[in-house]
Amino acid sequence: MHKTIATLRWEGGIDGYLVLLDQTRLPGTVVEVECRDVDTVLDAIVRLCIRGAPAIGCAAAYGVCVSLRGLPSGGKLSLANAKQLVEHACDSLATSRPTAVNLFWALDSMRQIARQATATTTTQLAELLLAEARAIHEADVQMCAGIGRHGADLLADLPVGSSILTHCNAGALATGGDGTALSVIFELARRGREPHVWIDETRPLLQGARLTAWELQQREIACTLICDSAAARVMSEGLVQAVVTGADRISAAGDAANKIGTQSVAVLARHFDIPFYIAAPTSTFDLSVDQGTQIPIEQRAAEEVICGFGITTAPEGVAVYNPAFDVTPAALINKIVTERGCVAASLPAIQKLFQEKCS
């Protein structure tokens, strides 16, 4: 088994920097990127060096911290000006990925720390912000562990060696911890359930082929890679006992936005009577969005489809529609697995979940 490499980490104290595992280079090359300014963090998120809703949130929180790197604590920069830099960093990072709600949740937390801070120097402000970013990161680690436990409990009745299909990447590469969907797989493996995973390649950027397959091999978990278009065939042969994916935003009604192609998998699962589960933290729910149709869907460059990884696969000038996400209706989701337990994909159940969280 290879040595586990952290998806993201903070090096040093308040004058430190963010280090990211460059996922655009996997699986062939393991390279880390040092982010010492906000623009570098922004670029890393936009170009998918770091991706996955929880991981994006953690990276953005640390990105706010780098906005104050090297700033003097004395009179050369007022505390008010330092807070303005934080606001500017939050505004800039918020433009990176419009669909992942964890990004905005993390930035809102950092804004509140800066706005409500009792700090009297820029050093104290930087310390408060770094402490909050670290708390967001640690909470994500614990969140992943909780999702893994509840998801494994949900699938406890599956026979040993059962096969689970997943789409895109929702593992340690997508979070600050062990992942969301893959944390369920990892926990099943720890319990001796010997899961096998069918991995959709996940066009056009192949997050399943490049990242999920890499992660599962790192953990020595049995897996088989398939083309996205092969999912129906595999299901029709009775080779899939459950589907588990992550999510980037979940509406108040339980509709879930995830990587493009997830909705197709959910439709197939319903046709073949296979349970379809979403694994996501409570921070992925956006209760301000009533229905999935209101979730903004990021549109990405045509080059990802016609010239992915430097190889031209379509004629020059062809029109391209390249949404990064689709929305799976709540009616197709059997359960949503959160760090607080499993919940039905319905407005009443989700409202109850959050009422219990606040009580």
Catalytic site residues?
248
Q: Cis peptide leading into 27, omega within 30 of 0? A: yes
In angstroms, the CA 34 to CA 29 distance is 16
Residue 262's Cβ-count burial label (10 Å; 0-12, 13-18, 19+) is buried
The DSSP secondary structure of 162-207, one letter per residue, reads -EEEE-S--BGGGSSSSBSHHHHHHHHHHTT---EEEEE--TTTTH
Angle at 328 between CA 147 and CA 287, to 5 degrees: 65
230-241 in b/e burial notation, b at 16+ Cβ within 10 A? Answer: ebeebbeeeebb
The secondary element (H helix, E strand) that includes residue 326 is: strand 325-328
DSSP-derived secondary structure for 61-85: HHHHHHTTTT--SSTTS-HHHHHHH
**Phi, psi for 271 (deg, rounded to 5):** -60, -40
